[in-house]
């Protein structure tokens, strides 16, 4: 019985608190899936920055006589109802889909870190009940946010703010705030209890300096891995809301918007919906593979 | 105080249902619900544009806006409106839709079962598929394992609406096996259920396998094997049973994801349901409906997580001893 209890305790506490002598590091070759994912993401990023490298066709140019052409040597991914080149639209769409996903993650990371830090620090720095109250309030706020399905929460935000590129990024970002907030809060509590923080305080460093120089860097190390794994989910959520018509609006070649546009002509033109969806899927898979590789790398270094 | 606590802890018969814990959970659940509707109420009050304009719709004639403002109580202060809103909520009145001009409760009640049916069936299918994937991949060669984990990665990465569209193209347009849209009979449920079940299955399978692998290293598995129990029975009865316990804590989130996914799935397949109602309410700024959906989602989350938490302490005796 007792050892079962102990087992559970070690499960609950993250491995961070138990430093283990690090085994000799093996030089590991990158798995082919990671290399492949890395190349794909790199290509995507190039498409985000200079889409003209891949295609010289204007993604907005309509050629009514070329409507709904099947994929061919001239139009690799075919054309849509208005005769726009789908390959050009997919390439130019990367800018919207990827950048909105990245901004949503960035918003969640920044807001979550600030909330988590304030919650964690106020519990320690503000004496008496007030500090605990602040901490508790943030905890409840995270509970309320995470009690909603992300899509619904984003829809409520869009009801308030209206559809659009920035609003959709904020809407998706808000849904991920609790994840970062909780991790940063618990990490803050952990770090502020560590000996080196006490030592710094004993040496007469001011509180602000201890926080900025010692607490902050050690708290924020946890963020990159979380963010790397979350970016894919953000892109997925963004494309979903765009598909519902709550994101960027019609002529913009965002992938979710393209899929929504292709629905009416699905029966006769499969390519209009196939390629944008393929790119969403491939991007999310590639980013997830990279995120997990980063996680393994960092875990291997810490343990 | 300490003595009194110890006395209650020593009486094993009272321990089956953890009442204090239930009450605490219920209280925090009510707080979450209240906070959710309150935040939603004040956010949507601050909506740009005049609510009377939304209500008036296309029509304009002198005095119309004033009449609407008076009729819907929009001329009162925000706090008065908030208190009136809370008062109505407590009596079970969800208000009247701005667009449909019907009680919101009736609107939701008419559509909720379609969504519940979809989400429940998809959840069950997803869970079964996840268990199959996890059990099949455990203890196999690297090739089988990496093939299955790739499959799971694809399931979790693929956008719901794309899966729906691909299924429609193949099964409805090409082979004409299933209807394109609507909600009549089981045929119209097949494609939406598959669409919604795949991400759930992919996510759950990863969690279940990880949990099973951890369970398989526990000493009691050695004991079970030493008794000569066959390997498949070890996996299915002992490892799987234990591994599913930690998965229970995720069920609240999974139900939320199913509900969110149902919004998109219903749109793709043109099914009536909560998702369609929400989408229409969001685009039409039909605030009472949006708030009711918020309340509905939060209520489901609170009820499910409370019930699971209690179940968890009943099923896992280790937690009961700790209390």
Question: Stretch B61-73: mean pLDDT, rounded?
Answer: 70
Residues 6+ apart with CB under 8 A from B111: B272, B273, B274, B276, B277
- For residues A209 and A140, the answer to whether their CB atoms sit within 8 Å is no
Examine the pLDDT at A11 and tell me if it is beyond 60: no
Cβ of B267 within 8 Å of Cβ of A236? The answer is no
Cα–Cα nearest to B289, from B269, B307, B274: B274
Which ipTM was obtained for this model? 0.81
Instruction: Assign residue A247 a region (left: φ > 0; alpha: ψ between -120 and 50; beta: otherwise).
Output: beta
Contact yes or no for B257 and A160 at CB 8 A = no
The string of DSSP codes covering B54-69 is HHHTT---TTHHHHHH
**pLDDT above 90: residue A189:** no
**Contact (Cβ atoms closer than 8 angstroms) between residue A172 and residue A97:** no
Provide the shortest C-alpha distance from residue A161 to chain B (in Å). 7
Residue B49 has pLDDT above 80, yes or no: no
Q: What is the pLDDT of residue B123?
A: 93
Is the pLDDT at A2 greater than 50, yes or no? no
Inter-chain contact A144–B168, Cβ cutoff 8 Å?
A: no
CA A109, chain centre distance (Å): 9
CB B213 within 8 A of CB B140: no
Q: What is d(CA A28, CA A301) in angstroms, rounded to the nearest whole number?
A: 12
Q: For the CA atoms of A153, A157, A163, A165, what is the dihedral angle to 10 degrees?
A: -90
Contact B314, B17 (CB under 8 A): yes
User: What does pTM read for this prediction?
Assistant: 0.83
Kindly give, in sequence order, each residue whose CB lies less than 8 Å from that of residue B183, ignoring residues fewer than 6 positions away. Answer: B114, B189, B271, B272, B273
Q: Identify the pLDDT of residue B57.
A: 66
Which residues of chain B have a CB within 8 Å of the CB of A270? 169
User: Cβ contacts of residue A257 below 8 Å, gap of 6+?
Assistant: A242, A243, A245, A247, A248, A249, A250
**CA angle A215–A220–A224, rounded 5-degree value:** 165
pLDDT score, position B127: 92
B290/A159 Cβ within 8 A: yes
Radius of gyration of chain B (CA): 25
What's the Cα-to-Cα distance from A298 to each of A58, A221, B77, B137, B162, rounded to whole Å?
Answer: 42, 10, 54, 26, 34
Q: Which residues in chain B are contacts of A244 at CB distance < 8 A?
A: 263-264, 267, 279
What pLDDT, on the 0 to 100 scale, is given for residue A303? 45
Section B195-218 average pLDDT: 90
What local confidence, expressed as pLDDT, does residue A177 receive?
Answer: 93
Nearest CA in chain B to A145: B36
d(CA A168, CA A62): 27
The predicted pLDDT at position B50 comes to: 66
CA distance B179 to chain A (A): 13
pLDDT of residue A12: 41
**Cα A88 to the center of its chain, rounded Å:** 26
pLDDT over 90 at B71, yes or no: no
Residue A111 confidence (pLDDT):
95
> Cα dihedral sign for A191, A192, A193, A196?
positive
Q: Give me the pLDDT at residue A114, please.
A: 93
Residue B124 has pLDDT above 90, yes or no: yes
| pLDDT greater than 50 at residue A4 | no
Is the CB of B297 less than 8 angstroms away from the CB of A8?
no
Give the relative orientation of helices B187-216 and B251-269 as an angle to the nearest 10 degrees: 150
Beta bridge partners of A79: A85
Residue A15 pLDDT exceeds 60: no
Chain A CB contacts of B268 under 8 Å are 263
Q: How far A273 CA sits from the closest chain B CA (Å)?
A: 8
Q: How many whole angstroms separate alpha carbon A294 and alpha carbon A286? A: 12
Beta carbons of A149 and B260 less than 8 Å apart: yes
The residue ranking higher by pLDDT, B258 or B322, is B258
Burial degree of B316 (CB within 10 A; 0-12, 13-18, 19+): middle
Average confidence score pLDDT of chain B: 81
Nearest by CB to B267, from A159, A244, A285: name it.
A244
Q: Which of B27, B47, B48, B161 to mutate to test the interface with A (most CBs of A within 10 A)?
A: B161
Following CA atoms A73, A76, A80, A85 in sequence, which dihedral angle do they give, to the nearest 10 degrees?
-90
Cβ–Cβ < 8 Å for B175, B258: no
Interface of A with B in 267-296 (CB under 8 A): 267, 270, 273-274, 277, 280-281, 284-285, 288-289
Contact B260 A150 (CB under 8 A): yes
Whether residue A285 is predicted with pLDDT greater than 90 in this model: the reply is yes
A116-165 pLDDT, tens per residue?
A: 999 988 877 777 788 888 888 888 888 888 888 888 888 888 888 888 88
d(CA B45, CA B134): 47
Q: Residue A278 — very low, low, confident or very high, per pLDDT cuts 50/70/90? A: very high
Q: Which of A8, A151, A281 sits opposite B260 (nearest CB)?
A: A151
Report chain A's mean pLDDT, rounded to a whole number: 82
CB A302 within 8 Å of CB A25: no
Contacts of A250 in chain B (CB under 8 A): none
Question: Any idea which of A101-110, A189-198, B10-19 has the lowest mean pLDDT?
Answer: B10-19
| pLDDT digits 0-9 by tens, B223-251 | 888 888 888 888 888 888 888 887 887 88
Question: Is the predicted pLDDT of residue A19 greater than 70, yes or no?
Answer: no
Place A26 in a pLDDT band, splitting at 50, 70 and 90: low
pLDDT in tens, A239-258: 999 999 888 887 888 899 99
Confidence of residue A39 (pLDDT cuts 50, 70, 90): very high
Measured between beta carbons, the chain B residues lying within 8 angstroms of A4 are 318
Tokens of A287: 């980013």
Structure tokens at B296: 């509905």
**Which pLDDT belongs to residue B173?**
80
Burial B199-227 (b: 16+ CB within 10 A, else e): bbbbbbbbbbbebbeebbeeeebeebeee
Predicted confidence (pLDDT) at residue B14 exceeds the cutoff of 60: no
**Which strand (E) or helix (H) includes residue B257?**
helix B251-269
Q: Which residues of chain A neighbour B171 with C-beta distances below 8 Å?
A: none
Q: A200 pLDDT exceeds 90?
A: no
For residue B286, what pLDDT band results from cuts at 50, 70 and 90?
confident
* Residue in A with minimal Cα distance to B318: A5
Q: What percent of chain A has pLDDT over 90?
A: 22
Helix (H/G/I), strand (E/B), else coil: A79: strand
Min Cα distance B3 → chain A (Å) is: 22
């Amino acid at each position: 019985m007792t050892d079962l209890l102990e087992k559970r305790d070690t499960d609950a506490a993250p491995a961070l608190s138990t430093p283990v002598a690090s085994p000799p590091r093996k030089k590991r070759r990158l798995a082919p899936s990671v290399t492949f994912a890395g190349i794909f993401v790199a290509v995507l990023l190039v498409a985000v920055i200079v889409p003209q490298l891949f295609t010289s066709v204007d993604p907005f140019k309509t050629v009514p006589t070329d409507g709904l052409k099947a994929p061919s040597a001239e139009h690799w991914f075919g054309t849509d109802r208005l005769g726009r080149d789908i390959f050009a639209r997919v390439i130019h769409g990367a800018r919207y889909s990827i950048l909105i996903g990245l901004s949503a993650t960035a918003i969640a990371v920044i807001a979550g870190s600030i909330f988590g830090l304030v919650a964690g620090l106020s519990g320690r720095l503000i004496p008496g009940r007030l500090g605990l109250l602040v901490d508790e309030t943030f905890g409840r706020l995270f509970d309320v946010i995470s009690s909603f399905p992300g899509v619904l929460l984003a829809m409520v935000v869009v009801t308030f703010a209206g559809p659009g590129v920035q609003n959709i990024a904020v809407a998706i970002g808000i849904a991920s705030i609790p994840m970062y907030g909780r991790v940063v809060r618990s990490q803050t509590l952990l770090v502020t209890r560590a000996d080196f923080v006490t030592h710094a305080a004993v040496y007469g460093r001011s509180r602000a300096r201890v926080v900025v120089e010692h607490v902050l860097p050690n708290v924020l190390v946890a963020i990159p891995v979380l963010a790397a794994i979350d970016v894919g989910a953000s892109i997925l959520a963004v494309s979903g809301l765009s598909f519902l018509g709550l994101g960027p609006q019609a002529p913009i070649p965002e992938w979710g918007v393209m899929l929504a546009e292709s629905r009416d002509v699905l029966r006769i033109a499969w390519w209009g919906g196939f390629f944008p969806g393929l790119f969403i899927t491939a991007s999310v898979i590639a980013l997830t593979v990279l995120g997990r590789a980063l996680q393994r790398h960092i875990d291997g270094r810490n343990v | 105080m300490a003595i009194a606590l110890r006395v209650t802890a020593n009486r094993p018969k009272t321990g089956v249902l953890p009442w204090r814990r239930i009450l605490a959970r219920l209280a925090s659940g009510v707080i979450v619900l209240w906070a959710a509707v309150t935040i939603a109420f004040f956010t949507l009050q601050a909506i740009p544009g005049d609510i009377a304009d939304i209500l008036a719709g296309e029509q304009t004639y002198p005095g119309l806006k004033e009449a609407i403002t008076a009729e819907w109580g929009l001329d009162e202060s925000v706090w008065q409106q908030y208190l009136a809103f809370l008062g109505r909520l407590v009596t079970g009145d969800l208000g009247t839709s701005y667009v449909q001009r019907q009680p919101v409760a009736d609107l939701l009640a008419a559509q909720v079962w379609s969504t519940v049916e979809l989400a429940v069936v998809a959840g069950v299918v997803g869970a079964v598929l996840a268990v199959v994937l996890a059990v099949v991949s455990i203890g196999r060669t690297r090739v089988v394992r990496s093939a299955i984990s790739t499959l799971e990665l694809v399931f979790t990465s693929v956008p719901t609406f794309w899966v729906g569209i691909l299924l429609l193209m193949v099964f409805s347009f090409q082979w004409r096996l299933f209807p394109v849209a609507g909600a009549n009979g089981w045929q119209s449920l097949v494609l939406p259920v598959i669409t919604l079940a795949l991400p759930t299955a992919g996510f759950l399978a990863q969690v279940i396998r990880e949990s099973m692998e951890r369970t398989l290293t526990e000493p009691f598995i050695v004991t079970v094997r030493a008794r000569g129990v066959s390997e498949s029975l070890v996996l299915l009865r002992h490892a799987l049973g234990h591994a599913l316990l930690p998965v229970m804590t995720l069920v609240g989130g999974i139900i939320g994801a199913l509900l969110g996914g149902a919004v998109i799935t219903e749109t793709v397949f043109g099914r009536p349901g909560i998702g369609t109602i929400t989408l229409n309410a969001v685009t039409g700024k039909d605030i009472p409906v949006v708030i009711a959906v918020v309340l509905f989602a939060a209520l489901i989350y609170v009820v499910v997580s409370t019930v699971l938490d209690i179940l968890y302490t009943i099923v896992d005796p280790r937690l009961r001893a700790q209390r």
